[in-house]
Structure 1
């Protein structure tokens, strides 16, 4: 797996003085502070204090935090070569077909299995021809506006390799899952996100947190088996979001009920942890600097 970690560009260049030196000394803290600050500023100012119209276009900027911070910090700690490696991982699609099956078949299957635990989830089905024909468009739109394409270059592109190197695969993934969930907190004060994710209540937040950590375990497991491919990380994230969005539309009885799906994803994550003895497919490189 050394090649997988080497592909992440976990290296440093000569350290200058001043602010850049601080960023290089504390790359993970700097990354998360930057990712949170960019996204939280937008959500707090333009979606809570002075809310803009709730449209696809106005929602996209809140996603800039992870990707901007990811590329900035990669440039700071690994230079131009690191940025090029990050970009290559964004198009690293030549991996075993089973990982595509995990994303396109496994994620929807787990989600539907979870919905089967929700009473009345399949009591009615609404799938007009127009919705069916527009599914590819919906998939692409959600890919950008739903988060995966703009989040994963940061969460999994920059942070995960360093978290695994410093804390190990399991603890590093748990840290990332919690911080990933925490990044969403201001969005609970926006109507659409709050309604979709159980509202700003203790049960709603707990379910979301368990979901984020469980998804993180599954993504890390795939990430470590695909030479740190961000294509697979993005697709797994996307197929989870797509399953949620689609079932909300075609299964009115399951709308905004995530308890069953989160339980099933948590069970799947636990099985992966036990089966891999917490390694999640990770092998530390012989030499590398976080």
Structure 2
């Protein structure tokens, strides 16, 4: 049923009338945007990853070699599918369900960079430092200072991660899905849906060298899922507290990936990827539990009655996070 009680100016085709209800594919997507997005995010990525998983980089079913870039074939074998899934799915659903106004809102979060400095410090320094420290209890005493080469690779690696992992995933998970999920289910419900979906999206990659196939232990995908689900709680809190700033979400996500890629193997030469993920999952679970208790499950979400604006003020008008208090 179409609700006309809060139709905004411009949404009506004429005085006293409402826009005709969309039919066909557009109608299905408009009525079920979240289900449509989830289907496209998983389906498009998984379909595009089939050749890579079946290649010698994975199951070895057929002799199809992907060209390497920066020492890995994952840029050519995995990145296209990542771009097609969360990013492509969010674009398609937003365009069909909300048209140009929706696309402007969707893209607009990418420019919400005016947040307090400590959010950048958290994403660029705090969380990466915590990632490094989590390895200490599992290192067996085999710890060494990062090499000059690893330190020099931090900034270029971050830039590469931003334009690959970050922009392929975050416009879908956080920019598109999270606001809609919170509007419908609240912050706890949104975290309960988005975390497992985010984890599930990665699972086919455990049949490739991305996930350490075939040496990886069967439990590693489960530990990774635990990390993803709990880290999603942290991401949700940061996203809400920064006024839905996508730049901070991007930096927080890729900051973890970049630290692992550039520093971890250099500082912990004897540690396996599986052991590393155990440490990350434990710390992430503790952080999620603390945030859930400290915010009483609200995770910084502030839905104002009678409207969809959940921000204390437009992000462009002031620095978000400077005096909001803890929610």
TM surpasses 0.5: yes
Q: Superposition RMSD on alpha carbons, in Å?
A: 2.2
1:117 corresponds to: 137
2:69 equivalent to 1:63: no
Larger Rg: 2
- How many residues are aligned here? 273
What does residue 24 of structure 1 align with? 30
1:200–1:160 distance in 2 versus 1, CA, 3 Å: farther
The answer as to whether partners of 1:155 and 1:176 remain within 8 angstroms in 2 is yes
Say yes or no: does 1:211 pair with 2:227: yes
The alignment status of 1:155 with 2:161, answered yes or no, reads: no
Q: 2:243 maps to which residue? A: 227
Deviation of the 1:106 alpha carbon: 2.0
Q: Deviations over 1:154-212 (max 9, x none)?
A: 0011110111111110121121000000001111110232359x8361x2122111111
Output the CA distance in 2 between the equivalents of 1:278 and 1:189.
Answer: 35
Question: Larger relative contact order (C-alpha < 8 A, sep ≥ 6)?
Answer: 1
Deviation string 1:29-64 (CA, Å, 9 cap, x unpaired) is: 000000111100011134325544224233310211
Contact 1:75/1:82 (<8 A) preserved: yes
More helix by share: 1
Scaled by the length of structure 1, what TM-score is found? Answer: 0.87
Structure 1 CA distance for aligned equivalents of residues 65 and 44 of structure 2: 17
Listed one character per residue, the Cα deviations across residues 210-259 of structure 1 (whole Å, up to 9, x for unaligned) are 11111111111011111211111111101111122123331212341211
What residue number does 1:253 align with? 270
What is the TM-score when the length of structure 2 is the normalising length?
0.78
Deviation per residue, 1:62-102 (Å, 9 max, x gap):
21110011111111222101111221211210011121122
Q: How does 1:60-209 map to 2 (within 5 A)?
A: 60-64=79-83, 65-120=85-140, 123-125=142-144, 127-145=146-164, 147-194=165-212, 199=216, 201=218, 203-209=219-225
1:27-66 alignment, distance < 5 Å: 27-48=33-54, 50=62, 51-53=64-66, 54-64=73-83, 65-66=85-86
Structure 2 distance, partners of 1:225, 1:130, is 35
Q: CA deviation at 1:26?
A: 0.7
8 Å contact kept, 1:143–1:238: yes
